[in-house]
Structure 1
Amino acid sequence: MRQRTTFFHRNEDAIDPASLQVSGRTLSGPSIKAVREDRFTLGLDELPAELQELLRLSQELYIRWASPVPYQAIGPWSSRLSPGLHVFYTPQADAKANVASDHELCLLLRRLGSVECSTPHKSFSRLPNDRFSHSTALEYYQPVYDLSNFVEYVVQYACAPSDAECKTRFDAVKQASSLDFSYDTISHVVKVTSLWGRQHQPLSISAPASHRVEVGLLTPNEPPHLEQHEIGVTGLLTVLGEDSKPAPTMFTFPSRHKQANTGFSSTFLTPTGLHPTMQLHIDSNQPPMEEDSYCALHALLTLPRTIFADKYQLEDTLFLASKNLTALQYISQPVDLEAPDYVMDIWGSSVLLELSTPVTESKEGFTAEIPLHLRYQSPQHGSESTFEVPYPAVFWACAAEEGTKFPSSPFDRINLGYDGLFGPRTLFWHLDPVAKSGSDQLVIGGKVPVLDLDKSRSINTVTSIVVVVGFAWVVYRLLMVYLRTGYGVAQPVKAAEKKQQ
């Protein structure tokens, strides 16, 4: 196992290098206000047997979790996802391996929380990986906002029953801002990455004897000739157990994800009803790159199956223009426009919309409105149910210069769902989500009317009476017509009438 722990801080939050102490396989120092990333790289033989079997039957598996609590990201960790559990998966081409991995994957996901997954064939939606080769085949999402189940799953395999320190270390993951699990058959290794947003971080790292642990304290740096698609950093690196003191470093690396240094908020217009409208308030209409670079503002909605967007409604250009929308760029398939929530197997749908930004010389905010539709919910005790929708990911997609390449970097984050919908030379400039007033969650919702089980018995009785009375009335009217006209009984034809004919 290899571990890399990185603290990325602003220049004004730097600490004195002389305050860092390296003793054997331990580094300690004063707390620092920074973003912290822990990345573990493991071989398959270091994983639980059930997970080894699943990965051997998989071509690619990426599990991404994002916290519903807002956090501040800096440096190379600017990419964003809607809060919740995202899974991007490509099975092997072998049909037998496909069937086995289907069962194993949903079994694993159910260990991570309240996950409704039967098989990837039924519960996952298909991504258009024929458009760009860097996209996985299948996508899945569930609104899991807590990592407690995941931590319990890891602790039972990674920590001895008497190892309290190990359990305490993993308990800290419950407060993480994001968690990634990545595997592909090319690298044949697993990378598990946890990230904590910018806050005061304790600076005390110990390395077990069997692990290689590298610790970095980095800060932004802008050397001459830094390209727009690159990030420059400087700071200190230490390999625990090998270095006696931190060593200075300076380097640049390509990054497809950067910060737009502006924010957005999301809410539902009231009253919501059965056709709620999501309103996005964007703080700035100015693109992050020079005028000669093409940039377009996008919003990626991740919608649980309780709610959906009507792709036919979003194809009307005049209607889109009235909502400050430009075009529907992508919607996952299939999306049943009529089915109630409780009969569906698929997780929901994802929608990529291009927003229409007002063209002005000055920086100003604007709003965009996205019409959505609720499905009928399961009957319950009470006449109303609640629904929740995570914040979308909002970003500028800008075209990098011709010939720009994005080779692998030490802080790569790929397969986020939307990056596979753009070309390989696209730069993503992310807007920071801001929770609405009075909330500390990046989740919005409302109430929807449902059938009240407490009143359903009387409703059934009245409905039955109305049906019986209506049927009796129809039979009565038919009988009266029959008796008046005599239809159905042969009538003799008079001789005189025959002559006239």
Structure 2
Amino acid sequence: MKRRITYIQRPEAPFAPEQVTLLSKSVQIEGLDAAREDRITFDLDDLPEELRAVCRQSQELHIRWATERPFDAIAPFASRVSPGLHVHYTPVTAGQSSDALCSVLRTAFGVVEDDVICTSPEDSFIAPPLRATESGIAASLQYHTQLPSLTSLVDSLVKTACAGDGPCTAHDLTLLLKADNVDLDFDITSNTLTMSGVWNNAPESVWSETIKGPVSKADKVEFGLLGAEKGIDADEIKVGGLLAVVGEDKKLKPTMFSFPSRHHALPQSAGYMVSFAEPTGLHPTMSISIPRSSLGLPPAPDDTTCGLYTYLTLPSSVFADQYQIGSTDSLFLRSHNLAGLRAHAGETDLEAPDWVVKRWGSTWLIELATPDLDSAVQSANWTATIPLHLRYLNPSESGYRSADVPWPVVFWACSAEDEEAGMGINPFDRKHLGYDSLFAPRTLFYQFHPRSDRLVEEIDFPVLHLKDGEGLFKSRNIELATCAVISLGFLWILWRLVQVTWSSGLGSNGKTERSHKHDKKE
């Protein structure tokens, strides 16, 4: 087992040397104001048998989780995904996915039965648009579910992979409940599973803890305290600070290095808000509002071309019309401040009710149309609107049901002219986010910051009212009225057909009789 703990201090955060003490078998941290990444690498033999079997049948397995709480991501942890659990999976043999994958997801992440609704990858996952990446082909199957907490995962790991008093302890795992992002990645080359968590702020405002060294020679614990700043090149991040291997090094070693980064954070003023126009009804409209002062082009390299995008992750009960969003009608697109639909995948049947939809939902990559900043009022917000639709859901006693829609991510994507160039080695790189594989390998992403108390919108919409009470529109009356209207309509159509047939018959006989009389007279 290998563990790497990295603290990234903000430039304005105070620091004194006595806040970090390296001992013979541990590192003590006192009052440290910093972001943190904790990365643990497990060998397959360290994993539970069911999870080990899933990994052995996986060509690609990448799990991403993001909290519903807002957070300010800092470099080099600037990447974002929509709140919830994301799974990207490719079986070793095409068309032969692991039957145990859904079982592992339900056991590891599901606190209650509806947390992870998954029967098999073929039935529950969607097939995203494929594009070549630096490491081959993006994962062939994708899954998402709204998951507010990682309680079940933490409980499972405490009992299995991190049991005992080693470098991975129950105390460390409970910190995952307050993490901003948690990732799990299986590497088929090394047969290892890496779990990483990121906290952009300490749960208790500052970090004060003791990091223990390894308990066996097979384990390794690495520690780093770094500061990050912009590199010489526009796509680079430069970091410098102190490193140590706990239990081996006698003192902290100074270091400084730089690397190209795929994801960059825009200034904190570059925020966005998501809302739905009221009343939502069955055709809600999502609004994405950004301050006009934050819509200037990002500080990307000169050889890149940038576009403003949003990536939506929608549950099965909510969908967009690919023919409407993908329209080439410039008037329609301008009215919504959209440039066009660039990619979509998942459940897009316009007529299917939610109870017949098997897969979890759909994803949408939409390019937004940027305003003319020279003539715009800089103090105002710029808003893009995306028309959505709600599927028919099962009736309820209240006459209403709700759907949780995670906030989309909003970013600038800047692609280089040389699409074949690689990104180089980044020790904090984060890939397989869903949208990154839809761009060229050397694309840089500049992330906007969501601004809300909760990064999920709850939509209430009307359904059939089951509760029988007073009034004309109770469910029984609606059923009887529907049957009556259908029956009357059928009888009317039948009567009209009889009329037409009878009239045609009379007209034909009359014409024959007149013709016969005329011939006889001649």
Same fold per superposition (TM over 0.5): yes
Q: Which amino acid aligns with 1:239?
A: V
Amino acid at match of 1:434: R
Cα deviation for residue 318 of structure 1 reads 2.3
Aligned partner of 1:266 among 260, 274, 285: 274
| 2:415 is equivalent to residue 399 of structure 1 | yes
SS in 2 for 1:389: strand
Indicate how the Cα distance of structure 1 residues 171 and 92 shifts in structure 2: closer, same or farther if over 3 A, else same.
same
Residue matched to 2:102? 106
TM-score, normalization: structure 1? 0.89
1:142 to 138, 141, 145: 145
Please list the CA deviations of residues 147-203 of structure 1 after superposition, one character each: whole Å capped at 9, or x if unmatched: 11111221221355999x933332221111111001132342211001112232224
Q: CA RMSD in A?
A: 3.0
Name the CA shift for 1:104/1:338 in 2 (closer, same or farther; >3 Å).
same
Pairwise CA distance, 1:227: 1.1
Give the equivalent residue in structure 1 for 2:10: 10
Partner of residue 54, structure 2? 54
1:462-490 deviation line (CA, Å, top 9, x unaligned): 44455566667888999999999999xx9
Cα distance change of structure 1 residues 322 and 2 upon mapping to structure 2, 3 Å threshold: same
Residues 462/222 of structure 1: CA separation in 2 closer, same or farther (3 Å cut): closer
Q: For residue 245 of structure 1, report the CA deviation from its aligned partner.
A: 2.5
TM-score (norm 2): 0.86
Cα contact 2:313–2:408 (8 A) shared by 1:
yes
* Offset at residue 290 of structure 1 (A): 5.8
1:307 to partner: Cα distance: 0.6
Residues 304-333 of structure 1 deviation map (CA, whole Å, 9 limit, x = unaligned): 111111111112332111111111111114
Segments of 5+ residues of structure 1 without an aligned counterpart are none
CA separation of 1:12/1:277 partners in 2, compared to 1, >3 Å: closer, same or farther? same
Amino acid at match of 2:19: S
> Mind listing any 5+ residue stretches in structure 2 that lack a counterpart?
468-473
Cα 1:300–1:251, aligned 2, differ >3 Å: closer, same or farther? Answer: same
Q: Quick check: 2:60–2:90 contact (8 Å CA) kept in 1?
A: yes
2:257 pairs with 1:254: no
2:284 is equivalent to residue 276 of structure 1: yes
Is 2:369 the partner of 1:366? no
Q: CA deviation at 1:441?
A: 0.6
Q: Deviations over 1:386-443 (max 9, x none)?
A: 11211101110112474853123211111111110000111101011111xxxx2101
Task: Give the SS at the match of 1:126.
Answer: coil
Structure 1 CA distance for aligned equivalents of residues 229 and 495 of structure 2: 90
CA distance in 2, matches of 1:405, 1:51: 32
CA distance in 2, matches of 1:374, 1:246: 57
Q: Note if contact 2:224-2:244 (Cα within 8 Å) is conserved in structure 1.
A: yes
CA contact (8 A) 2:347 2:361 kept: no
Aligned to 1:215: 223
How far residue 378 of structure 1 moved from its aligned partner, in angstroms, is 1.2
Aligned to 1:377: 393
Q: Deviation of residue 14 (structure 1)? A: 3.5
Asked if 1:35 corresponds to 2:35, the answer is yes
Pair 474,367 (structure 1): closer, same or farther in 2 beyond 3 Å: closer
2:185 is aligned with 1:182: yes
Q: Structure 1 residues 380 and 253, CA, compared in 2 at 3 Å: closer, same or farther?
A: same
| Paired position in structure 2 for 1:460 | 479
**Local SS of the residue matching 2:364:** strand
Distance 1:235 1:401 in 2: 34
Distance 1:40 1:475, change over 3 A: closer
Structure 2 match to 1:430: 447
Q: Equivalent residues in 2 for 1:22-101 (5 A)?
A: 22-93=22-93, 98-99=96-97, 101=98
Q: Which one of the candidate residues 313, 325, 337 is aligned to 1:302? A: 313
Q: 1:470 to 1:202 in 2, by over 3 A?
A: same
Taking every aligned residue pair, what percent have the same amino acid on both sides?
41
1-side partners of 2:460 and 2:78: how far apart? 33
> Equivalences for 1:434-449 in 2 at 5 Å?
434-435=451-452, 440-449=453-462
Preserved contact between residue 73 and residue 198 of structure 1 (Cα < 8 Å): no
- Provide closer, same or farther for how the CA distance between residues 326 and 475 of structure 1 changes in structure 2, counting only shifts above 3 A: closer
Corresponding pairs, count: 487
